[in-house]
Chain A
Amino acid sequence: MNNLSNRKFIVGLIFLAVGVIFAIRLFSVQVLNDEYKVDSDQNVLREIIQYPARGLVYDRNGELLVYNEAAYDLMVIPKQVKKIDTLAFCKLLEIDTAEYREKFTKARDYSSYKPSSFVKEISSISYANIQEQLFKYPGFFVQTRTLRKYPRNSAAHILGYIGEVNQSTIDDKPYYRSGDYIGKSGLEYSYENLLRGQRGVKRILVDVHNREKGSYKDGATDTMAVTGIAIKTTLDILLQEYGELLMQNKKGSIVAIEPKTGEILALVSAPNYDPNMLVGRAVKKNYPVLSQDSLNPLFNRALMAQYPPGSIFKTVQALIGMQQGVITENSGFSCIKSYVNCHNHPSAGNVAASVKMSCNPYYYSVFKRILMQGRSKSIFKDSELGLGVWAKQVKKFGFGQRLATDLPGIKRGNVPGVDFYNKWYGEGRWAFSTIYSLSIGQGEVEVIPLQMANLATIIANKGYYYAPHLIKEIDKTDTIPSIYRKKNDVGIDKKYFDPILEGMYGVVYEPGGTARRARIHDSIVVCGKTGTAQNPHGEDHSVFIAFAPKDNPEIAIAVYVENAGFGGTWAAPIASLMIEKYMADTISTKNLAKEKRILDANLMNVIPKK
């Protein structure tokens, strides 16, 4: 038996060995490994995101354009979802079981432990219903957030819309997290940083059933949501709405600017859409409809449509000609229709008359003088040198470059320069005779309606402009971005504007003027210039730029109606109605017939000219 007594050591050794193994394991789990501490925090800490209300948007008169409405997102933490009555749950949410499974799998693939949204933007009514029964479905909870609302149903292109951030934005900008909303277009996009506010985070402790058990560190690490900053736009919503009304059943745009400041008063793109169509869950349904519409209502013509300017461009030619000294305000050129076609009118004896009558051959001659100043013996070289100087000057008017406005997606337009034609025809293979269409705003020159309105502004201001913009005031600050306070000089002496003004006055008021329909009444003097842009794809575009009153102008405007024909017929009366609306608030009885004619007109389906 004695040798068996030694077995006590074996047994003791087994005990000791297990003790040592446990001690080592405990040391490694508790002291060496930090992972479990993180897991433990993750278990009990739940971050509740407090979504800030986005900043409100007002018009220049304090009229509310955009506000927020509460919406509710149903969130899920897949890990915590227990066996539930799926059928009843789907009925409650008004989804089918296949959708439920799909959403659930998606959420689980994202994370089992982190919350992800399950059904977004539940209406207040459904929310009440769901909230009542939610206790039956562990793992689901409701998160409050806000939706944009547009009480005026207009200015969709300007206000823009918001949408959920996509992955690339999340990757690029550290502020954003999955599920956040971000401005996707319009002012929502441009002033995202002001409007979005600051997300708040509340950290709470939860138990295994996800029941709230109090705040983490007594709320020391919590942050409050900061509401987005309100902005006041330069828009006059009544004018905007009126413009949209006038443009119903038409394609084109209206841009109205306050000349002294560059503030955009109205920016209409037709056809347009109700901004409320692109809010919340409706986006999924409406966006494809809008984006596939052949009339392309999502397309902001005022900034993105590049048109030939037509005759309104003659004002620019005249100004450059005078500035360069190749003509004077009293220069006269015969209306020789063999140069370029023209309508029947007496020959213009001076600049003012040429503007009034919009004489094509006159500007053929002016442009020829501008380009061919005898800088070189070769007509090719001479044209090239002349065009170079000319293009540089034209660009100072804001053409051929992106105006520094505060809306995204703005186009440059095109001012064809030397490089352009060298590429087009080959170096030394073009001259004035090749490109004379530019003289009357046809050919390769392209401008956007905003640039046209800016031209009206420049003439109204006699030589300068502020970048047209939509921001008027930012809440809690007393300034707007400096770029909109910078005066841009176009490099034309003030005196050269007088004959242009005179001509534009004549357009509206004198016999032989091309836009006598633009007259309002005696107390508001309108200066304007018509344009009829030839369009290879169909009927001519009707163009009109104007400003009023003649002395100390308060509004400059450009109207562009696609396929509507002569500028004086459609664009001019629309402009005059807009001016009257803005200056007098109401349309005088005398002009009601004019208004009715515009409202009744349907220029949507004009038969294309062959």
Chain B
Amino acid sequence: MRRYGNIFANVDWATILIYLALVFVGWINIYAAVYSEEHHSIFDISQRYGKQLMWIGFAFILALVILMLEGHFFTSFAYPIYGVIMFSLIAVLLLGVKVNGATSWFQIGSIKIQPSEFAKFATVLALSKYLSGLSIRMQDFKTKVYAIAIIVLPALLILLQNDTGSTLVYAAFVLVLYREGLSGNILLFGILAIIVFVLTLLFGPFNIIITAAYAYIIIYTLLKFNVKATLVSLLLFSGLVFVFFNYELSQNLIYYGLGMLLFFLIAFLATRKEMKGKRSHYLGVGIFVVACLYIYSIDFTFNKVLKEHQRTRITVLLGEEDKLIEQIENLKLQRDVEGISAEKKQQIRDDIGAKRYSLRELRQGNGWNIKQSLIAIGSGGFTGKGFLDGTQTKFDFVPEQSTDFIFCTIGEEWGFMGTFVLVVLYIAIFLRLIFLAERQRSIFSRIYGYSVAAILFFHFLINIGMTIGLAPVIGIPLPFISYGGSSLWSFTILLFIFIKLDSERLNVLR
């Protein structure tokens, strides 16, 4: 089957073109990000754009090598490759060097390699191999356990390296598993859990529980078209809510618990007649109780379990900075009121001090980064400030601007036109990848294709989301664009294996 001399036969040129476009966009923006008038040659190896040019060259060679290999190679060696990479993930914990607090780099001479980047395609290979096995059904409990184990093993090892960002990427496989038959409810619950998490932090657990209870009553009774029951229970419920708020009972833990119990009882009684004896009724109530506990636990988790820097990331994301400033201003007003006791005054002063401290914590580090990132992107306007003319970029206001925050440079210098085109390019390649995956005869190839799309998508989601203030600051690269050899090579390998598999799709028997 080998056809030397025509390694490009049947390859999907659309995908390759988008790939090349993204790599090119990446390079010129890395150039802009580190540009200085003192630099002369664009091939200057001492500069990041010079190095990136080298990494790109290597990446192209890697791509060519992959295209020259046979697709069969990857299916056959999926497990060995996975094994070797897992081994290297363990090895890096023992032999690696620490960069930015994460022990995820091997240092060989002057070159640093990050095995966790390569763990992605290895995991994809292993998962595809396993799920494409002959007697594998996603519905089986055993299948789920094995599939999840394949995914969680590298994720855990990377977590041990203290690289939270790269660990989270493995959540992307939920999409793949979903396509392969995992219940949609799990996907939904995941999304709901995140939404409830954010809402609870924003509005406090009590409000969210009440809202959830209202929603529960309305949905369950309306589903049975019993308007009267709906109204009666809503009325009862509202009365209780009023009492609770009016007497500030929600502050006290015992009343809080009692209240939850009452709410639960009312919700149960209100729907009892309609749902009598039905299993779904008890299930619904059960879910409601679990949800209440979950909501309550968010408060606890956030304040007691999460580390300070993680908490700050979320606080910044939720725009609590303004809230803090407002609180400080209010306290200042209270302080300046005539005729309050010295004791009270001192207490207010202490409060202001504490809030100022949190504010400073917020403003330094992540708060500052997000703000500068938004300023960079926002100040780009519609057409951008022009290539090499971004002041935020040029004067180093944006942190990590050639790696994780490269999108800022694009936003500042190319404006909305630039960012929009980039978003379109990404969405195009994601959709193209799904399209390609769906046309595979081999299940292995299909799972592989979905995995590529899901992983790229997750990076896109978190990275850009972070720079525009829609996601917490999680340090993961923007595929094909961010500076860095390891990540570029890893994404190139990931993508080109699939392009190779796709080019051979007609040779594979179902």
Q: Which of A65-73, A207-215, A504-512 contacts B (4 or more CB under 8 A)?
A: A207-215
Q: A40-B391, A43-B375, A44-B395 are in contact. Are A14 and B175 (CB under 8 A)?
A: yes
Instruction: Evaluate contact between B379 and A37: CB separation under 8 angstroms.
Output: yes
Instruction: Evaluate contact between B431 and A25: CB separation under 8 angstroms.
Output: no
Considering only residues 451-474 of chain A, those with a C-beta below 8 Å from chain B are: none
- Neighbouring B residues of A36 by C-beta, 8 Å: 374-375, 377-379
Q: How far is the CA of A26 from the CA of B378 in the complex (A)?
A: 8
Instruction: Evaluate contact between B415 and A12: CB separation under 8 angstroms.
Output: no
**B419 partner, pick from A26, A112, A206, beta carbons under 8 A:** A26
State the Cβ distance, B171 to closest chain A Cβ, in Å.
Answer: 13
- Neighbouring A residues of B412 by C-beta, 8 Å: 40
- Neighbouring B residues of A7 by C-beta, 8 Å: 178-179, 184
State the Cβ distance, A385 to closest chain B Cβ, in Å.
Answer: 56
Q: A8-B438, A208-B395 are in contact. Are A37 and B378 (CB under 8 A)?
A: yes
Q: A26-B419, A209-B396 are in contact. Are A19 and B426 (CB under 8 A)?
A: yes
Q: Is the C-beta of A171 less than 8 angstroms from some C-beta in chain B?
A: no
Q: How far is the CA of A234 from the CA of B378 in the complex (A)?
A: 61
Of A19, A23, A40, A41, the most chain B CB neighbours within 10 A belong to: A40
Interface residues on A, range: 35 or more
Q: How far is the CA of A12 from the CA of B426 in the complex (A)?
A: 12
**A15 partner, pick from B178, B379, B427, beta carbons under 8 A:** B427
Instruction: Evaluate contact between A26 and B379: CB separation under 8 angstroms.
Output: no
State the Cβ distance, A516 to closest chain B Cβ, in Å.
Answer: 67
Q: Which of A27-35, A50-58, A427-435, A482-490 contacts B (4 or more CB under 8 A)?
A: A27-35
State the Cβ distance, B443 to closest chain A Cβ, in Å.
Answer: 10
Q: How far is the CA of A409 from the CA of B371 in the complex (A)?
A: 53
Instruction: Evaluate contact between B379 and A39: CB separation under 8 angstroms.
Output: yes
Q: How far is the CA of A522 from the CA of B434 in the complex (A)?
A: 120
**A11 partner, pick from B175, B392, B427, B460, beta carbons under 8 A:** B175
Instruction: Evaluate contact between B415 and A40: CB separation under 8 angstroms.
Output: no
Instruction: Evaluate contact between B381 and A4: CB separation under 8 angstroms.
Output: no
- Neighbouring A residues of B377 by C-beta, 8 Å: 26, 29-30, 36
- Neighbouring A residues of B424 by C-beta, 8 Å: 19
Q: Is the C-beta of B450 less than 8 angstroms from some C-beta in chain A?
A: yes
Considering only residues 1-21 of chain A, those with a C-beta below 8 Å from chain B are: 4-5, 7-8, 10-12, 14-16, 18-19, 21
State the Cβ distance, B17 to closest chain A Cβ, in Å.
Answer: 19
Q: How far is the CA of A112 from the CA of B434 in the complex (A)?
A: 50
Interface string of A165-203 (1 = CB under 8 A from B): 000000000000000000000000000000000000000
Instruction: Evaluate contact between A40 and B416: CB separation under 8 angstroms.
Output: no
State the Cβ distance, A16 to closest chain B Cβ, in Å.
Answer: 6
**B397 partner, pick from A26, A33, A207, beta carbons under 8 A:** A207
**B434 partner, pick from A11, A22, A27, A30, beta carbons under 8 A:** A11
Q: Is the C-beta of B170 less than 8 angstroms from some C-beta in chain A?
A: no
Of B380, B411, B437, the most chain A CB neighbours within 10 A belong to: B380
Q: How many residues of B contact A (CB 8 A)?
A: 48
Q: How far is the CA of A239 from the CA of B181 in the complex (A)?
A: 107
Considering only residues 406-458 of chain B, those with a C-beta below 8 Å from chain A are: 411-412, 415-416, 419-420, 423-424, 426-427, 430-431, 434, 437-438, 450, 453, 457
**B179 partner, pick from A4, A26, A206, beta carbons under 8 A:** A4
Instruction: Evaluate contact between B411 and A30: CB separation under 8 angstroms.
Output: yes
Instruction: Evaluate contact between B411 and A16: CB separation under 8 angstroms.
Output: no
Majority SS of interface residues in chain A?
Answer: helix
Instruction: Evaluate contact between B430 and A15: CB separation under 8 angstroms.
Output: yes
State the Cβ distance, A316 to closest chain B Cβ, in Å.
Answer: 55
- Neighbouring B residues of A213 by C-beta, 8 Å: 394-395
- Neighbouring B residues of A206 by C-beta, 8 Å: 395
Of B178, B372, B375, B453, the most chain A CB neighbours within 10 A belong to: B375
Of A8, A15, A207, the most chain B CB neighbours within 10 A belong to: A15
- Neighbouring A residues of B423 by C-beta, 8 Å: 19, 22-23, 26
Q: How far is the CA of A18 from the CA of B175 in the complex (A)?
A: 14
Q: Is the C-beta of B386 less than 8 angstroms from some C-beta in chain A?
A: no
- Neighbouring B residues of A4 by C-beta, 8 Å: 179-181
Q: Is the C-beta of A604 less than 8 angstroms from some C-beta in chain B?
A: no
Q: Is the C-beta of B468 less than 8 angstroms from some C-beta in chain A?
A: yes
Q: Is the C-beta of A130 less than 8 angstroms from some C-beta in chain B?
A: no
Q: How far is the CA of A26 from the CA of B379 in the complex (A)?
A: 11
- Neighbouring A residues of B464 by C-beta, 8 Å: 22
Q: Is the C-beta of A205 less than 8 angstroms from some C-beta in chain B?
A: yes
- Which residue of A has the minimal Cβ distance to B450? A11
Q: How far is the CA of A39 from the CA of B381 in the complex (A)?
A: 13
Q: How far is the CA of A213 from the CA of B396 in the complex (A)?
A: 11
Considering only residues 163-220 of chain B, those with a C-beta below 8 Å from chain A are: 175, 178-181, 184
Q: Is the C-beta of B470 less than 8 angstroms from some C-beta in chain A?
A: yes
State the Cβ distance, B354 to closest chain A Cβ, in Å.
Answer: 14
Q: How far is the CA of A43 from the CA of B416 in the complex (A)?
A: 21
Instruction: Evaluate contact between A26 and B381: CB separation under 8 angstroms.
Output: no
Q: How far is the CA of A420 from the CA of B154 in the complex (A)?
A: 101
- Which residue of A has the minimal Cβ distance to B390? A40
Q: Other CB < 8 Å A-B pairs besides A4-B179, A37-B381, A206-B395, 11 of them?
A: A18-B461, A19-B427, A22-B423, A22-B464, A22-B468, A23-B420, A23-B423, A30-B416, A31-B416, A35-B378, A40-B412
Q: Ordered nearest first, which 6 A-B pairs have the shortest CB separation?
A: A36-B378, A40-B379, A207-B395, A19-B427, A30-B416, A208-B396
User: Residues of A with Cβ closer than 8 Å to B?
Assistant: 4-5, 7-8, 10-12, 14-16, 18-19, 21-23, 25-27, 29-31, 33, 35-37, 39-41, 43-44, 79, 112, 205-209, 213
A and B contact pairs by CB, cutoff 8 A, 23 listed: A7-B179, A8-B437, A11-B175, A15-B427, A19-B426, A22-B423, A22-B464, A22-B470, A26-B377, A26-B468, A30-B382, A33-B378, A36-B375, A36-B377, A36-B379, A37-B381, A40-B375, A40-B391, A41-B379, A43-B375, A206-B395, A207-B397, A208-B397
User: Residues of B with Cβ closer than 8 Å to A?
Assistant: 175, 178-181, 184, 363, 371-372, 374-382, 391-392, 394-397, 411-412, 415-416, 419-420, 423-424, 426-427, 430-431, 434, 437-438, 450, 453, 457, 460-461, 464-465, 468, 470
